[in-house]
Structure 1
Amino acid sequence: MKPDHNYVKTLSGKRSYFVRPTVVDKMTTIMETMQHNHSHTDTCFSCAEACERCATACLEMGDKDGKGHDMTTCIKLCRDCADICTLCGRLDARGSEFSRDFMALCAEVCEACAEECEKHADHFAHCKACAEACRKCAEECRSMSANA
């Protein structure tokens, strides 16, 4: 049996959903009604995607730009950031008790990645996009970890 998903708007106007309980038998339910805000989860996954795209673009550039940019640190931070953002988004989506701790770490890693990508943002669009996504994610994670 598939649970019945319904989307609702909360008082703050953000999109949330709840899952109606699915009765297995008269005494058992698979899932209790739950509400969850997907905005933060989506931000984490968007940041992870921007980081993956940035790292891939940096790797594909090689020496083609001729400007002598060393992108090693950028690539490493993008990979770390993509991993922590993906994990943070997954933990948040499932309502993990560890979400708050990972959100604080995610904010820290996103800030480091944004700082590095901003060094290259004037030369490479992928670094600019990554830095913007990282700043947004860091801000949301910091806010969520303080209020969780």
Structure 2
Amino acid sequence: MPTHNQSLLDALNACIAACEYCASSCLKEEDVKMMARCISIDRDCADMCALTARFVARGSEHAQHVMRECAEICKACGDECEKHGAHMQHCKECAEACRRCEQACRQAVAA
């Protein structure tokens, strides 16, 4: 695997972990219903990052398209998590991971 993709793969994997942890933590919050959108987009983002990592790792000819979509979902997830980040550490950390992943995907597409 080309080493120039390693930082992208690291960002994707960190985002998967942060989104999975955030969704699980949101399910433990007192008002789970209030967290429904966050949980849903966390799951979507984690799945999209996993798919993107697989496309990038195998050098798929469709990786560029998937990375653009991944960047969009990471942005949406980061936006949602930021709404809760002031009072929920797991959302704050997820938003940060999503922003890093969004940026990594956009940079890879532009390269």
Aligned structure 1 segments of 4 or more residues deviating by more than 6 angstroms: none
Identify the structure with bigger relative contact order (alpha carbons < 8 Å, sequence gap 6+).
Answer: 2
Aligned residues: 110
- Calculate the aligned-residue CA RMSD, in Å: 1.5
Question: Which runs of structure 2 are paired with 1:46-57 in the superposition (5 Å)?
Answer: 46-57=14-25
Instruction: Output the TM-score relative to the length of structure 2.
Output: 0.93
Equivalent position SS for 1:61 = coil
Within the candidate set 14, 26, 48, 1:58 is matched to 26
In structure 1, the partner of 2:66 is: 102
In structure 1, the partner of 2:36 is: 72
Letter in 1 for 2:54: R
1:88 and 1:99 in contact (8 A); partners too: yes
Aligned counterparts of 1:40 and 1:146: Cα–Cα separation in 2: 13
Equivalent position SS for 1:95 = coil
Aligned counterparts of 2:59 and 2:73: Cα–Cα separation in 1: 21
Query: Percent of aligned pairs with the same residue?
Result: 49
In structure 1, the partner of 2:2 is: 35
* Structure with a larger share of its residues in helix: 2
* Structure with a larger share of its residues in strand: 1
Equivalent position SS for 1:60 = coil
1:114 aligns with 2:106: no
* Structure 2 gap segments, 5+ residues each: none
Instruction: Output the TM-score relative to the length of structure 1.
Output: 0.70
